[in-house]
Amino acid sequence: MPGLTGPSDYSQEPPRHPFLKINSKQPFNAEPPRSALVSSYVTPVDFFYKRNHGPIPVVDDIERYSVSISGLIDNPIELFMKDIWKLPKYVVTATLQCAGNRRTAMSNVKKVRGVGWDVSAIGNAVWGGAKLADVLELVGISNFTGTTNSGGKHVEFISIDKCKEENGGPYKASIPLSQATNPEADVLLAYDMNGEPLNRDHGYPLRVVVPGVIGARSVKWLDSINIIAEECQGFFMQKDYKMFAPSVNWDNINWSTRKPQMDFPVQCAICSLEDVAAVKPGKVKVSGYAASGGGRGIERIDVSVDGGKTWVETFRHQKTGVPYIADDMSSDKWAWVLFEVIVDVSRSTEIVAKAVDSAANVQPENVLEIWNLRGILNTSWHRVKVQVGHSNM
C-alpha cells in the first residue's frame, strides 16, 4: 500500500472527545453518553462510537494511496482517490451499530466475552462517496450480478488495519456480490462523514459503509477488494459475530454451524434516562432511538411505565417535529428513528421501551431468551429504573 505509514503501536492515536466513555484503551473502543445520542438525528463525528481492533493506521500521502480490485475477475485494477472522486458521489444517511451494542446488560445476566458496551455503540451519519456498484462496473461487473464469469460470489474488503485476531494480519470481511452490485443496497466506498472528510478514527481516507448490516462488515481504512467464490474466511467472519443458542458454551461451540451475522434485528433504547434515574413525581420525558436492519422501517415504539403491563405509543421522527412514516419515500430507510413521549410517573417503577419494525418483528422481552456467549445482538426490551423522590434536583 503506497502512501501509508502504519503504526505498530499506539503512539500515534488521534485526539478524542473527553466526554466519551472509554471501554478499552488499546485498542481504543469508546461510546458517547446515551443522552448525547438523542440530542440530534445526525450523530456528530466526535460522539460517534469508536470501534477498533488495533492501532489506528496512518495514511500520510493521499496522492499515493490506492485500492486494488482483484480476484475472480478478468481485469484487475488499482484505483487512486482521484479515480474514486471522479465517480458519481452519493450521499446516504445510514445508522451503523456494533453487534455488541448493549452487551454489558447481557453480561449482567450471565457473563459473556467482549467489549462492554452500554447502549451507545450506535450512531447515525451522513456518508458521502461512490457506490460500490459503480466501482465494480469499472472491472466489468454489471449491476445486479450474483456470480462473475469466473465464479465470484462474494466481495471481500481488506483493511490496512492489523489486528491480533488475524495473527497480525489485516482485518477483513465480505458481503454477497448480489448485494454489492445492487445500487439500491446503497453500499458505499465512503470518503465523507457528515459533510467532512473521514477522520482517522472512522476510516480515513476510504471505508466501506454497508447500510442495514452490523458494523463489523463496514470495513475501515480500505486497502483492497477481492472478488471471491466463498465468503471471507477471516476471523471476524468465521470465528466471531455469529448468533448461537443460549445452551452453546466455549467448550461445545462449533463455529461452522452458524452463518456470519449480517442484518441487525430491530432494536431500541431509552437515552433520556440512565439505568437508574432519580426523578420528581409527575411528567417525565422518555426519549431514545430505534433501528432495524435490512432497510426495514420502524412501525411503532411502545413505552410502559409499569414494567410492561400497559403501553403507550411514542411520537417517532427523523426530521425534528415531522412525524416519521415507515418505508415512506420521504424517510431515510437506512437510518434510525428517534422517539419521545411524556409519561406520568407517580411512584418508583421500571420504564420499558420496545420497537416493532415494518415486518412486524418485535424485540424479545427478556435477555435470557437471546443470551449468547459472545454477547451480540442484545435487542431485548430496554428497561430503566426510576426512583421517585421529592427533593430538589
Q: Name residues whose C-beta falls within 8 Å of residue 86's C-beta, 6 or more positions apart in sequence.
A: none
Amino acid at the residue 13? E
By C-alpha distance, which of 354, 218, 215, 212 is closest to 296? 212
By C-alpha distance, which of 171, 175, 168 is closest to 221? 171
In whole angstroms, give the CA distance from residue 43 to residue 110. 31
Question: Taking the model in full, what pTM does it have?
Answer: 0.96
For residue 205, whether the previous peptide bond is cis, meaning omega lies within 30 degrees of 0, is: yes
Residue 8's pLDDT band, with cuts at 50, 70 and 90, is: low
Residue 84's pLDDT band, with cuts at 50, 70 and 90, is: very high
- Asked if the model's pLDDT at residue 1 lies above 60, the reply is no
Section 117-146 average pLDDT? 98
- Asked if the model's pLDDT at residue 197 lies above 90, the reply is yes
Residues 264-321 have pLDDT tens digits of 999 999 999 999 999 999 999 999 999 999 999 999 999 999 999 999 999 999 999 8
Section 141-162 average pLDDT? 97
- Asked if the model's pLDDT at residue 4 lies above 80, the reply is no
- What pLDDT, on the 0 to 100 scale, is given for residue 11? 87
Q: Residue 107 — φ and ψ, nearest 5°?
A: -70, -30
By C-alpha distance, which of 220, 252, 219, 211 is closest to 90? 211
Q: What is the CA radius of gyration of the chain?
A: 21
Report strand pairing: 298-304 vs 349-357: antiparallel
Section 174-184 average pLDDT? 98
Mean residue pLDDT across the chain: 96
- What pLDDT, on the 0 to 100 scale, is given for residue 393? 45
Residues 319-347 have pLDDT tens digits of 998 999 999 999 999 999 999 999 999 99
